Structure formats: C-alpha cells, structure tokens
Structure 1
Amino acid sequence: MREDPSPWVARFAPLLPAGGRVLDLACGSGRHTRFLLHKGHAVLAVDRNVSRLEDLAGQDRLEILQCDLESGTLPAFLRQTFDGVVVTNYLHRPLLPALLDTVGPGGLLIYETFAAGNARFGRPSNPDFLLKPGELLTWLNDRLRVLAYEDLEVSHPKPAAVQRICARRL
C-alpha cells in the first residue's frame, strides 16, 4: 500500500507550472513522485536508495537517480533548474543554498521537515536534523517570495514538530 502525499504538498502542487519538471529530493518511497507524475509533471526522483521506486522504472516523464546526497560533493543535478522542488522529511543544511538555486524562474519550492521540539515525539531527535525556529524563513533570505509558512505541531500522520514553506521564484 502506498502512502498518500503530504497534505502540504497536495495543497500547493496545483501552483506548480503545468506540466513542469519537478525535483523530488530524498524521495524515499516515491509518494510525491507518484503524485506529481499523476498530476502531469516530469519528475526527477532522487534518493540514496531507489529500490522502492522499481515499479516506476521506465515510466514516461520520470528519471530516477540514485545519489548519496551527503557525500560532500555537490551532485550535478543541483546545477540544473526545475519548475518545482519538493522536499519532505529531509534536512541536510550544506545542500540548502544549491537547492534554492535549482528553483527556476516562476518555479515553486515546497519544503516540509522536522523542527525543534520534535524530540519529545520521537525520531528524529538529533538537532542536526531539526530546523531551528524560523530557520526556513531565514534560509530563503528574500531569494524567493513566501506564499505560505508554518512552524507548528501536527498530529497526522503521526505527532511531530514541523516547519513547512511554499515559495516562488519571481
């Protein structure tokens, strides 16, 4: 059984340029890759382990890339631009500046991950993997126009402290 897309991603995906090319970074099981493909987007799905995407191999408008995002070398795909970038439940701060640069003109960034305070709900609890208060806003530093931002606790799909943002490059 496949997971549903994050409600945050589902809420803002209609704002992605129609038929645009979207990067699903640290795509995991591919729940957002599947969702975006279904919505008519071309998708570059990237993860260290792509075995959970095997059923999608050969699908039109999909490129699957196995890549260790934390190897210390900037992956070549982060020198490209995309109409949309989707990241959920993943944080590796050294990639953040390059990730912003991948959002092309008119493109959208949809980002959602764990925040400070999540330790009381379980994993992740390491501060290296938790956003500090307001960190996503600070990270954008006026480079993209913020359409929506939240820093809150959620109960679904499990209790967690999260930050999430949707922003557009003008």
Structure 2
Amino acid sequence: MKKFILALLPFLLIACASKKGATAFIDGEHTIESWCPPEGDCKFEIMKDKSLIIKTDGTGKLYYLVNDTPGRIVAKYVYIKKSGAYQDDGYREEIIFETDARLSDLVVGNNIKNTKMLFGVHCFCREKAGFYKVNEGTVSYSNETLHLRIPNNIIDQQQINMFTVRLAK
C-alpha cells in the first residue's frame, strides 16, 4: 500500500499545483451578491475561450452567436421570472458581454461602449422583446468581484440593471 501511495504522489502534486497565469476563478462556483427580484431566479455563467459575434437579422433585430476564441470569455447574467398560469407569460432578461480571460478589459473607468455587450428581453411583449446594444453604464472587476450597472433603457420591462458577482478562486 505504501508503494502504491508513493507511486501516486508525483501525480497528485502535479494535479494540485496551480498553473502559472491560469484564471482558476473562471471554472469555479460564483456567488451572486446583488439583489434578484423575488418572483424569479438569477443565474451567472462564464463561458471560457469564447467570444461574441453580434449580428442583425432581416427585420433589423440584434442577435448573437458564441464563437470559439482562445483567451476570451463570455459572461452571461440571466434573470428568469417564474411562470404563472398562462402558456405565454414567460419572462427572461439577460446581460451578455465579452472580455479577456483575465478580465483586465474591465478596469475602473472602462468605457462600456468599447465592450461587446447586449441586454436581452424575452417575453410575449410587443415592441420590447429582443436584444439591445448596451452603450451606457459601468462594468468593473476588482477584488475577485464583478460589478455591472446599466441604465433602465426599456420602459416598464427591465428588472435587472445591475449585478455584483463574486467569482470563485
């Protein structure tokens, strides 16, 4: 048994050693520290080695595709309202944006216009459903915490306009 453990020891040390320059927080659990409307759930996801491609469809509405891109990440914050009694009363909002893998793009004073960011409303709500380019607001990363604030730009629709997420180490 001792020989078996000693034989495995180098593999355990290599597996547990930190990778120089790695962003371990991207793969861990994240803690949403901001308020979430009580009638729904909020979720946060980071997609590693991905980038956003923002496109316009034939009706002039924005949509996005996620593409494989080493060294970039796509972060997505989603609010999903709990459904009621009707088939078409579902409601979801999302904020999705791209940054570099170390989140160094999100320094204090970042001009949000330079960040690929969309705000999406998904519901049975005429003239308001779809994605919108985010041109105003603030986004920053410090002390392993991501902060975002955007203005309420969709009248009578927007539930989330800010969030704070602590990224796991």
Larger proportion of strand: 2
Give your verdict on TM over 0.5. no
Q: TM-score, normalised by structure 2?
A: 0.27
Structure with greater Cα Rg: 2
